[in-house]
Structure 1
């Protein structure tokens, strides 16, 4: 059953680790909403952004810490290959900022099926197929995590005075460049 019944807007904020950030995780509902509004007002966030937070259903808000897997492929799937394996976030958990977790899991599943198809054809054993799958998954997972963590570092860099100023200057330029690229691709 769908959680929403109409158009839905999902928003999130990523904050650097600090005692103030830790204290947010203990708040719920209206208390969390009020604390976020206070924090974002203090940091000079735009009125439209504050309005989104103010109009959000306080019962739909949560503060949590996320962890991502290592970006080093040697640390992903560190067990010996056998007849059982794992895929997706069970091996290479991406931060929610990446929007890559589900896609990576689907790619993993497709790759596993392809390797297991070799077993059916008699070209390899199940253990060999899983080993080959895991080697490829570790490499893909490492690449995905590296890209995802680049986004995290960029977001956290904007949480400084210099980062906020740079974002304010570059965002309109980047948006205009994206619109120009889009127009060129549509007209081509």
Structure 2
């Protein structure tokens, strides 16, 4: 019987717009239209400072608007036992690139499915890692793998596996893998 796809909560249109940075492009366009008239009246340096401050404020505002939507989606995934992560084989001669995707913890196994692009939907087949157990402590994840996240090395039936995810996701993994 073929393995079913993991079913993470789909991203809504506000999150997709934010992922595509359309809010940033809109802010740049509005500020750029205001730069030239202001530059003639108040000068180059004050306009540059205003541009930087307005850009920072716009990015902060976008985070305040989109963060609750993202948290709601992540909480919905967590209720299903699914979390975003990056993984790679730890025991390879030269550790490979990180594969980004979603993982699901089940009794006695870890399921992983890659996603299309950095923020796309699941793609490809589900990889099954039997009997995952920690092989070392939780450490800070490489920034390119999972910014602000944690990483752990796991012994599995398929060899050593490095997994980078949020701290709460790794707590869910280590708590459920002990079941």
TM-score normalised according to structure 2 size: 0.34
Structure whose residues are more often helix by fraction? 1
TM-score normalised according to structure 1 size: 0.33
